[in-house]
Amino acid sequence: MTLRRMAGLLLVAMAAVLSGCGVNAIPSYEEQAKAAWSHVQNQYQRRADLIPNLVETVKAAANFERSTLEAVINARAKATQPIPADILTNPEAMQNFQQNQGELTSALSRLMVVVEQYPDLKANQNYLTLQAQLEGTENRIAVARRDFIDAVRQYNTELKTIPGRWWAALLYPDAKEMAQFQVDEAATEVPKVDFGTSNQ
């Protein structure tokens, strides 16, 4: 067996041993967390994209309370502000993002309550379609948040425990813990949609 061949086999053996020891866990978990974060952003964007049509439908169908619509519009504007590039490792930026999204959820919830006073609006097909899409999006947001929280937990745990701490110190010195995505229960409540069938 030639020296070159032995060196090649040794490298293959070392790569197999290292991969079995979790040397790739940190970048793998980091990519999973980033992918989960992208999914969270996509779902929030989907919700934000539904709101202008919802607002226009409500305005067209009823002499609606202006303050309620303005609250939704203003909350949407805050929730769609540019996101800092370091949000995943910046707890303050993550908290601000969460707060803005929570305010939009609250504004939408208040809108749903006020809509109950407008039977014509509740019977409007366009409104009903938008409401169904919004409800589905809120459910997808909840799932995306849960997946992101789990991915960040796994990544952060790897950075804090052995052998992940060793690999981070040796191979990934720039790896930082990610900010957890935690919102209080009131802010994560899915807006209640009552189509009024039981109130007739």
Tokens of 46: 């989907």
Mean pLDDT, to the nearest integer, of 54-79? 87
Mean pLDDT, to the nearest integer, of 133-160? 96
Instruction: Identify the residue whose tokens are 């109130």.
Output: 199
Query: Structure pTM?
Result: 0.78
Mean pLDDT, to the nearest integer, of 101-111? 94
Residue 13 has pLDDT above 60, yes or no: no
Mean pLDDT, to the nearest integer, of 114-138? 89
Percent of the chain with pLDDT over 90: 62
Nearest to 155 by CA among 144, 168, 143: 168
Q: Within 13 Å, how many C-alpha atoms sit on residue 95's CB side?
A: 3
Instruction: Please report the pLDDT score of residue 124 as a whole number.
Output: 87
Other C-beta atoms lying within 10 Å of the C-beta of residue 158: 21
Q: What are the structural domain ranges in the chain?
A: 25-194
Query: Do 43 and 141 touch, CB atoms closer than 8 A?
Result: yes
Query: Is domain 25-194 given the CATH code 3.40.50.2300 in the classification?
Result: no
